[in-house]
Amino acid sequence: MAYPDTTSELLPTEAALPPQPLTWATYRRYWYLFALGLLVALTGAWLYLRYTVPQYSINMTILIKDKKDEPQQQRNERFNNLNEENASKNIDNEILLLKSNSLMQRVFANLDMQAAYYIKGRVGKQELYGENLPCRLLISRLDSSAYNKQVLLQVIDATHFTLGEANKTAQTYAFGQLLHTPYGEFTVVSKPANLAAFRQHPLLIRFQDRRELAGSYAKKLGVSTINKQASLLTLNVTDAVPERGEAVLNKLVEVYNQEAVEDKNQLANNTIRFIDDRLKYLESDLTSVEKNVEKFSRENNVVNITSQVQQSLQEASGYNKQLSDFNIQLDVLSSIEQYINQPTEPNQLIPGTLSVQDPTLSGLITKFNELQLERERMLRTVQADNPLVLTMTDQLTNLRGSILENLRTLKNNLVITRRSLQAKSGQFGSRLQQMPTIERGLQEISRQQDLKKDLYLYLLQKREEAALALAGAVSNARIIDAAQAGDAPVSPQKTAVVFIALMLGLGLPFAFVYVKNMFNDKVQSLQEVAWATGVPVLGELAHNRTRETVVISPNTRSPLAEMVRLLRTNYQLATSGAANQVILVTSSRSGDGKTFVSLNLAASLLLAGKKVIIVNLDLRKPGSLAEAGELSGPGLSEYVTDESVRINDLVQSSSTVEGLYVVGSGELPANPAELLLSPRVGQLLNVLKESFDHIILDSAPIGQVADAYSVAPYVDATLYVVRYNVTQKAQLQFINKLRTEHTFNQLMVVLNDARPNNLSAYGYGQGYGYPEASKTKKSKKLV
């Protein structure tokens, strides 16, 4: 009769506890994986370092010239050059320009790099460049079909060589000969000093696309600023051939400066061309304007309107002044004439002529006044009728008449002169009234003339400045540190490669073990049981490599036998001072090795001089104790169901283990769990206690059926068998539950079927110092 599996009801199938942290012992069991990982990783690192082409870092420092650092030229105050750059150069723009693909293409257009040269080695190939080449190609024309094509060149002698593609017959040519091929035309030029070293080694030549080459170097090029406050740039490129990297960086800065000078020259040339065109146009305009000025001056009888107006004003002012002087003189003369003609005092003194500048009149008046003064002095001493006085009086009368006549003459002359001045002054006044109209017309023409002339002179000045700029154009960058490669390669880095190899060699096995244990739901080590259950571990039993169920005997010294002895010793120590007669052996499920543990524990107790009996409580599998020998007669099920069966009828001696007694399970009952609840089971155990030192109960799996619970009150100690690689980790929680609920007395765990990677660090698993093992080893060596 078959019974259903109730494992899912009694025992959890998935762990409720968190995974146990892996310990050093766990990883040490897989030492061979770590050794293999290190060996493979270090071998791979050595091969990588041996055959990877080293890469060198080439650095260069340049200074971007800033406009604010250059001397400022004087500018025309009335005109500004709108094309003048007033701001400093943008360093970010210069960085992008240096990293541009077009600039790098121009670099490779100037460098002879359309062909790469290699020498084949046993595994890889080594690239040659520069002075190390035995010869080089001068390419006249290269078709796109030649890109990435490889040809082999073999030096024959100092003047000839063979050239051919792979899997094709090579042809012989002479150095310096122009070769015509379907994919291009080129000439092979030799370097006689290097030819001898390459006669035994063919030269592999690979044609390269200049655009792809420029693109790859543009991506590899690094440009960075040294300081945000400075315009210093660091250029960096990584290359397998240091000389080539240095050549690329040096040529890059050279082309960059050349383009800057070309841009400046182009601007200057365009400016000069534009100015020349404008000058030709302005020359014709200026000639036309000057002719208009000449015609206007001729028609209006003016040369310089400003100076002529000034002159006219000065002359008119002179005439007015003269008229004023003449009027004053006329007034003075009229006053003198009235003064002389006064009847009351005919002989009084005549005043001076003041502003009248006439010497005759002045002389007559002076003579008259002197004679008058002399007459008055004489009258003081003589009478008026004195002849001298009378003579003086006559003279005075004559002089007065002469003066009056002279006055009339002068007045007539002044009147005539005044009329002439008034006529001339009127002519200048009329001329001055016409001057504003003439001046305005002349100013309009002169303004056009001045504008054309200023523009003409300004363009002449700018043309000279552009010519000076064209002659003195300088580069944008100055080399501070020329391109130089480092002494040691930056890739591969030996320290980093070895470190990564060590990390991989140790990390991959570590990860493998970790993942393996994470997904492995079976018990693998003693530490897992101790960590998950808290139940004392009585001992470990190694995997039984023999076909014998009982592995211990008086003369057996195998590691497994010693483990059984250790199990017995640990049991005696664990139960010292407590009842230990009735021992229940159970497990989570069938196949964990309960019967194997029961039989070997019984055999070891017999060797210690104990009387032992095994009772088969697994009523569901009557033949589970077949290894103890063939049993006949009634068993436990008959004893419980039939009161006529006596205990002596149940106890039988084992035919395989000397001194061991066995009680069989009997026939398969219909209700095994209920039978074990019978009081007769307790009676049986009490009777057996009187005759035996230890009673071992080989029960059904407690994780599948509840039969073992029925005999829990009679049990002194419980051995729970956990089998490596069979018992699930989730089932350890059930053992912990039994411990916390105190369902069974003195619950202990026995670990069964330990493989070398499961055994703990104790020496029994290694066959230490046992004669039997030593003899076996020696015999094997002898064979």
pLDDT recorded at residue 429 = 62
d(CA 564, CA 550): 10
d(CA 608, CA 605): 5
The answer to whether the CB of 183 falls within 8 A of the CB of 143 is yes
The answer to whether the CB of 704 falls within 8 A of the CB of 5 is yes
Residue tagged 């080129």 (tokens): 186
300 token code pair: 């209006």
500 token code pair: 């990564």
d(CA 127, CA 104): 21
Provide φ and ψ at 90, rounded to 5°.
-85, 115
pLDDT recorded at residue 764 = 46
* Cα–Cα separations (whole angstroms), residue 112 to 3, 184, 237, 247: 90, 15, 19, 11
Closest CA to 588 of 442, 387, 734: 734
Angle between helices 559-574 and 594-607 (to 10 degrees): 80
**Neighbouring C-beta atoms of residue 620, cutoff 10 Å:** 20
Residue 188's identity, in one-letter code, is V
Counting as low any pLDDT under 50, the low residues of the chain are: 1-17, 71-88, 761-783
| Domains identified in the chain and CATH numbers | 12-52+492-519 (no CATH), 89-241 (no CATH), 305-452 (no CATH), 526-768 (3.40.50.300)
89 token code pair: 């150069």
Torsion angle defined by CA atoms of residues 428, 432, 438 and 444, in that order, rounded to the nearest 10 degrees = 140
The answer to whether the CB of 25 falls within 8 A of the CB of 761 is yes
Question: What are the beta bridge partners of residue 752?
Answer: 723
Q: What is the 3-state secondary structure (H, E, C) of 232-278?
A: EEEEEEEECCHHHHHHHHHHHHHHHHHHHHHHHHHHHHHHHHHHHHH
Question: What are the beta bridge partners of residue 61?
Answer: 234, 481
Compute the half-sphere exposure of residue 625: CA atoms within 13 Å on the CB side of its CA.
Answer: 37
Residue tagged 């570590």 (tokens): 510
**CA dihedral (721, 725, 731, 733) positive or negative:** positive
Angle between helices 305-340 and 387-471 (to 10 degrees): 170
pLDDT in tens, 242-272: 999 999 999 999 999 888 888 878 777 888 8
3-state secondary structure of 17: coil
Could you tell me which residues come within 8 angstroms of residue 726 by beta carbon, excluding any fewer than 6 positions away? 522, 523, 591, 592, 753
648, containing H or E segment: helix 647-650
150 token code pair: 């490889």
Provide φ and ψ at 100, rounded to 5°.
-70, 150
Residue 512's identity, in one-letter code, is F
Residue 138's identity, in one-letter code, is L
* Cα–Cα separations (whole angstroms), residue 457 to 31, 278, 450, 462: 95, 11, 10, 9
320 token code pair: 């007015």
Query: What is the DSSP code string of 185-234?
Result: EEEEEE-HHHHGGGSSSPEEEEE--HHHHHHHHHHH-EEEES-TTS-EEE
Could you tell me which residues come within 8 angstroms of residue 696 by beta carbon, excluding any fewer than 6 positions away? 583, 585, 598, 601, 602, 612, 613, 614, 615
pLDDT recorded at residue 439 = 64
- Cα angle value 600/659/580 (rounded, 5°): 60
Residue 696's identity, in one-letter code, is I
* Cα–Cα separations (whole angstroms), residue 347 to 322, 334, 360, 365: 34, 18, 20, 12
Sheet holding 171-174, edge to edge: 125-128, 115-120, 203-207, 150-155, 160-165, 171-174
Provide φ and ψ at 204, rounded to 5°.
-90, 125
Residue tagged 């009084």 (tokens): 348
pLDDT in tens, 382-396: 777 888 778 888 887
Query: What is the DSSP code string of 358-419?
Result: -HHHHHHHHHHHHHHHHHHHHHTTS-TT-HHHHHHHHHHHHHHHHHHHHHHHHHHHHHHHHH
Question: What are the beta bridge partners of residue 178?
Answer: 187
pTM: 0.57
Kindly report whether the peptide bond that precedes residue 12 is cis, defined as omega within 30 degrees of 0: no
447 token code pair: 């303004």
3-state secondary structure of 29: coil
pLDDT recorded at residue 720 = 94
59 token code pair: 């650095």
pLDDT recorded at residue 771 = 45
